Structure 1
Amino acid sequence: MSVKNVVGVLALVLGSVLAAPREFYVDPSRIYTPDDLEELRIAAAYEKCVRTPGCDTTIYSFPQPRVKCQEGAGAEAMMNEMVGVRVGGTGSTCNSMAGEVVWPATGQCVKLLSQGPCPPSEWVKLARSNLTPVCAPRPCDSQDNAVMINGVCRPINQPSPSAPTSCPPTQRLVTNEFGEGECDCVPGTVFYQGTQRCYTPYTQGPCTTGYIIKVVDSGMKGEARCVPNSCPKPNMVRLDQNCQTRDSGEQTTCHDLNSQGPCESGLLRIDNTIAEPLCITTHSIFGTIGPRCSRGSIRDARGRCRTNLAALLRNTPPIVTSRPRLQSDNRQCPPGQVFLAGICLKLAS
């Protein structure tokens, strides 16, 4: 059939469809193409059946309305479901996963590891003593993409395997909230305790067949776990009509990741910050620059990414802190101290 004839058939069928009852859906904003010819033929047959006495309309079925997701659609609802991620400031709400904290003097949001309100050559970091943001000299200021490790500036990229500061496989050096270097998952991956490795969410990863790895929120932290896959294969995600991820239910559809899927712009990808699929044009809706304490990272699994610890400790008695290191009983902290936010804490007696 020539293109001219196909267009003619489309026009005739579409005319019948638009005049049909409301039982089926025609999107007036959708551009129908020759690939949609069979769908429109069924719609026209249904319309004819409706008008024919005794015809059984139940033999016809139609696809659900196509979901159209804007860039970042669904992110706000996801963030609201994550406990402790939102930190209140004056006239604003800070996002702790995106590296934002409340500056005490103004109540405004500032980014960790940025100059913020600090003098030149200084940056904002958390003080270990009370976990509040402070200005401090920026180490390695003369070296781009370097981080302080044991008093020595090291390249932020993975050192050679023989170097003593090398990170385990699937991890890399990052600058943490205290302005120091430590190992954490590569952006876009999440930490699985069972293997001590990082994996891409919604893949099979270390899980058995029929399961995928994804982040499960538990209180003030997020942990990667193996969960049943509700889609036919890994690297897919089920979305509802509001572009929200769902494990099951009607009006939901599985889409391939790293494809256009339901996106009006960008691709359906795993957001590097919240470890969930969104329609995005970059690697995160929170931008590509700046510190992150991503959902499902090693730090998030330890309760460091979504808790305003300074507020929790503000009205407590003085505390004693120390650096965590492996004890003889395999604990992180000395007897009488607890591991919290990357440090060992003990209320002063």
Structure 2
Amino acid sequence: MQEKVDEWEGAADNGIDEEEGDFLVKILKSLGADLVDSVEYGDDELTQILLSEIKDVWQLMANNPKWLVNSGETPESLRTYMAKLLFFANDRNCQSPDETLFNGQCLPISTRKRSKHCPEHMGLYDDENNEGICDCLELTGEKAKSEIRPIYSDETGVCHQQNTQGPCENGEWFVLKNTSRCEPVPDGCPTDGRHVYWNPDPSTAKQCWEIWTQGPCDDGQLLHLHQDTEELQVYCSFRLAEFSFSHSLTLGSYLVRCLIGSLRGKLGACTPAFFG
């Protein structure tokens, strides 16, 4: 086993290009076979050593997915292999990479549409321990630019749509200003989750604009959103085609970076989870 470990560590130090990506896959599978043997033999100490080395190899591959180009494997096939391997070694709760343990069951991870196991505006995420947590729905691609995402409320313990009344009193709307809060609705602004109070020129007064319309933008441009900051950012830009993303080398769909205003972000529990 130590010879295999030395082999992949030396390869990592020397650098690996995509032509040699199949090398790491072979090392991963070889260490995986040794892990199965150690579990069957009941050698707990060796099992833990192998788990550590397997995760190191996996992390290296996850950070360099281009190495898979000529490996004969796909991200999905390797995710499935890893999940089953860690499940066999009792290092993961669920056998499928797309499931997480929630209320004693392995349930489908759902981060972009509401999970029936979570409140409204919330999906089922996977944490670093392969345990489920309900959190605000994720928006990606064009949706993150054209739809205002929900944010978490400490008072209600669930997520609400931004720029709607949400958990607030009449005449207020739920917004993100460093943290989620209730503020008086600007005059003339609908609380429909589609309007923002904004000005393209800081020297002019703010007005209420509907997102993903031209608004005050130049011809051919639309009002876009940037939502990875402590306050909703609005800007004018041309509409871009939706990007399609292939599966990444992560187990589950737990976000590597927490969205500001989410439950996970407030609890400080958002960490990379390649092995969740």
TM-score by length of 1: 0.37
Q: Which has the higher strand share?
A: 1
Q: Which has the higher helix share?
A: 2
Find the structure with the greater CA-based Rg: 1
